[in-house]
Amino acid sequence: SQTIHQWPATLVQPVGSPLSLECTVEGTSNPNLYWYRQAAGRGLQLLFYSIGIDQISSEVPQNLSASRPQDRQFILSSKKLLLSDSGFYLCAWSVGQGSAAFFGQGTRLTVV
Amino acid sequence: EDQVTQSPEALRLQEGESSSLNCSYTVSGLRGLFWYRQDPGKGPEFLFTLYSAGEEKEKERLKATLTKKESFLHITAPKPEDSATYLCAVQLFLNDYKLSFGAGTTVTVRA
């Protein structure tokens, strides 16, 4: 069966520090991978998605970037965090087109 | 402009009091509509996918239905463990890799 691992669960970082959040998927090949952010009381905002190892699409221009160094690994990064980067970050995967996405347990990021 | 609107924002129910949540969408070219359940501090858990108007899906006390411009999630005789935020998302034929989410309905079921 497929599983998704996302870490860390909680992170407190100072303004201006770098960020690296990692997500890996097991049990499937060539998944579509996603990074979402959820602000308190809000819906999920799609940040990046990738349908292949060299194909990453950015949805919202901002202080973040994404990379996919391996087929089942997706990394969210920032060189310098802003206060507005605080939120709940969720990684997800799907397979093929027109299918549901399955989420990890999320990372609560607080920028102080 | 929001593509997906969920109502109400919050719903408080007594155990056993059935109710419905609404998800309306303004987009055209709908590929699929998805319902998720999210517990506090957790990632969303997939519930249902609906692809065409008239389609219905059921799971325990939950039933999802789809019309041309909205979807309903019916909760029948809810229990306290049904308390959660319910999210809906739409996917378009234009880009059927992406899901666009509504803000969710937070359901609280009191014993």
pLDDT attached to residue B66: 96
Specify whether the CB–CB gap between A77 and A64 falls below 8 A. Answer: yes
Distance from CA of B36 to the nearest CA of A (A): 10
A20 at interface of B, judged by CB pairs closer than 8 A:
no
For residue A2, what are its two tokens? 């497929």
Beta bridge partners of B72: B22, B65
- Mutate one of A33, A44, A58, A105 to test the B interface: name it (highest B CB count within 10 A): A44
Query: Measured between alpha carbons, how far is residue A90 from residues A40, A67, A97, B62, B70 in Å?
Result: 13, 15, 20, 25, 26
Cβ–Cβ below 8 Å for B44 and A94: no
B97 at interface of A, judged by CB pairs closer than 8 A:
yes
What percent of chain A shows pLDDT beyond 70?
A: 99
pLDDT digits (tens, 9 = 90+) for B17-74: 999 999 999 888 889 999 999 999 999 999 999 999 999 999 999 999 999 899 999 9
- List the Cα angle A9/A44/B68 in 5-degree steps: 145
CA-nearest of A111, A109, A110 to A8 is A109
pLDDT digits (tens, 9 = 90+) for B79-93: 999 999 999 999 988
CATH of residue B97's domain is: 2.60.40.10
Q: Which of A21-30, A47-56, B11-20, B94-103 has the lowest mean pLDDT?
A: B94-103
Q: Which residues of B touch A44 (CB under 8 A)?
A: 44, 87, 89, 99, 101
pLDDT attached to residue A54: 84
Three-class secondary structure assignment of chain A: CCEEEEECCEEEECCCCCEEEEEEEECCCCCEEEEEEECCCCCEEEEEEEEECCEEEECCCCCCEEEEEECCEEEEEECCCCHHHCEEEEEEEECCCCCCCEECCCEEEEEC
pLDDT attached to residue A45: 93
**Higher per-residue confidence, A60 vs B66:** B66
pLDDT attached to residue B58: 97
For residue A7, what are its two tokens? 């870490």
- Nearest-by-CA chain A residue for B2: A43
Cβ–Cβ below 8 Å for A44 and B101: yes
- Mutate one of B7, B21, B98 to test the A interface: name it (highest A CB count within 10 A): B98
Which residue segment(s) compose the domain that B92 sits in?
4-110
- Domains annotated for chain A, with CATH where assigned, are 3-111 (2.60.40.10)
For chain B, the domain total comes to 1
